[in-house]
Amino acid sequence: MIPDTVTEADALVLLLTPAELDDAAWSLRLPASLAAEVQGLRERGLFAAGLGQTEVIPTLGLLPCRSLVLSGLGAAAGGADAWRDAGVYAVRAALGRGLERLAVALPREAASADDTGANAAVNLRKRVHALAEGLLLGGYRMPSYAAATAQPPRTALREVALIIDQATLAAAGCGSAVETFAQPLAAARAFAIATQYARDLTNLPGNVLVPDTLAQEAARLASHYGMSCTVLDEAQIVEHGMGGLHAVGKGSANPPRMIAIRYEGADASSEVIGLVGKGITFDTGGISLKKPDGMEEMISDMGGAAVLLGLLHVIGRLKPKLNLQIVIPSAENMPSSSAFKPGDVIKMMSGHTVEILNTDAEGRVVLGDGVHYALQLGAKRIVDIATLTGAVLVSFADVATGAIANNEELQKEILNAAKQAGEKVWPFPNYPEYHDMLKSDVADIKNAASRDRWAGSITGGLFIGFFAGNVPWLHLDTGGTAWLWNERGTEPKGGTGAMVRTLAHWLCKS
């Protein structure tokens, strides 16, 4: 039977698998007439507990809450991804009916029959982590700037209670629910908060978020979590020899900023991990002007920076035992009389020279300085993340993030973290022939291949890797995944926060 927790909720959420729905064991958890209603939905083919299927049924006083929400787990219920997705769909269905306080009953198969020994407890924690993450992510709504009087009332997720019986815990070899789930629920909350934050930051209009306001937000967030933050202004950028960031930013009335945030969670002898994120707050393409159609999406060109600032919520809340150096080069890429031009040769912070063939390939230029700065600040391994290329859409559409690395071990770690996070990442090859495409006749390297439609994502990433040298390095191209024109599956319209959870799993080893 359903516990008293439901009396404090607007709705009871039942997560069901097709197998559980078929054998009707779930019916023991409901009053007979409600169970019959669910059975009727099944018989009419309206609800088969498939992943993404939801139904909302009024309880008519038969339960102490207003509604019953059914959310299907699908056939792959043993995987954490299904639990995360079912959580997202359940919350969307509930909020669509104005239901803000939910009691979520875990399915009878929460501890899979395939789980054995200590593995059963580990997998149960992973599923509950994913479910909690999904429940929180499902409540995301893009901010609106419409006048308050023009906006309809918006429901928001206020409270969620998870219901799990002692028999399920015992089957997985677990003790109390509090003891079992305290850590995974804390991690899920931090991961979801970080992702929602990155989405909000990515969705900010370009007239609201400029390099200086991004730097101010970074400093505010770092201070909140007790981390150090250094911001270099346009004069200091020139003094430090950051010719790439200076070149890209000098065409705008909003000058560039170089942001560096330090987290020290381990002793001084421990390796420093470097994270570098592209912070182009708006990208017109510069002199190599983009087509006007769809240019409004370029508010998302700081998606890499949004991911790294979102990660501060994870690091600050969970405090993993590691040392982290975050670097965010930020600029606007605008066409003006002072903008850099195709044919220019610029000198980077590393001392290398770059021939500019395309000013719309500006992200890799600022990231070159960002990577070198991270090395100068002590980073021994580097991951950079950027909405780098449109070419990644040709390879993967808006489904997967592209990756390229100079180190197989680091690549394996990130790919494994992506699997845990349920985010799709696919590696590109790193062959000498692709490096050759970036050779310049007049500089150390050029910022685009002459035939830049050929292997554009690969050569764009390898340009950044050039400045990492022999240090283990990996690049994530979220040019297709950081922003969606329409809601798809569990992902929202607009900024998605793609790769927040992957990097969070990697850093926190959760």
User: How many angstroms separate the Cα of 472 from the Cα of each of 267, 371, 375, 378, 382?
Assistant: 21, 12, 11, 13, 6
**Does 283 show up as a binding residue in the annotation?**
yes
Tokens for 158? Answer: 């206020």
8 Å CB contact between 331 and 248: yes
- Quickly tell me which residue has 């809340």 as its tokens: 317
Q: What's the rounded Cα separation, in Å, for the pair 374 and 355? A: 23
Q: Across 177-294, where does the E strand assignment appear?
A: 228-232, 257-264, 272-277, 279-283
**Does 278 show up as a binding residue in the annotation?**
yes
Of the candidates 329, 174, 271, the residue with the CA atom closest to the CA atom of residue 471: 271
**Does 233 show up as a binding residue in the annotation?**
no
Sheet harboring 11-16: ordered strands across?
A: 54-58, 67-72, 11-16, 101-105, 159-163
Q: Which residue is catalytic, options 66, 257, 364, 501?
A: 364
Q: What's the rounded Cα separation, in Å, for the pair 280 and 282? A: 5
Q: What's the rounded Cα separation, in Å, for the pair 243 and 95? A: 49
What is the distance between the terminal CA atoms of the chain, rounded to a whole angstrom?
Answer: 33
Q: Is 453 exposed, middle or buried (0-12, 13-18, 19+ CB in 10 A)?
A: exposed
Cα 82 from chain centroid (whole Å):
18
Of the candidates 308, 249, 237, 244, the residue with the CA atom closest to the CA atom of residue 281: 249
- CA-based diameter of the chain, in Å? 80
Q: Is 424 a catalytic residue?
A: no
Using DSSP's 3-state secondary structure scheme, residue 295 falls into helix
Phi, psi of 38, rounded to the nearest 5 degrees: -65, -45
Cα 282 from chain centroid (whole Å):
20
Q: Is 23 exposed, middle or buried (0-12, 13-18, 19+ CB in 10 A)?
A: exposed
Q: Which residue is catalytic, options 97, 290, 419, 424?
A: 290
Q: How many CA atoms lie within 13 A of 368 on its CB side?
A: 33
Helices (H), 250-353: 303-318
8 Å CB contact between 254 and 306: no
**Does 301 show up as a binding residue in the annotation?**
yes
Using DSSP's 3-state secondary structure scheme, residue 463 falls into helix
Q: Is 419 a catalytic residue?
A: no
8 Å CB contact between 305 and 335: no
**Does 384 show up as a binding residue in the annotation?**
no
Residue list, annotated binding site? 278, 283, 301, 360, 362
Residue list, annotated binding site for Mn(2+)? 278, 283, 301, 360, 362
Catalytic machinery residues: 290, 364
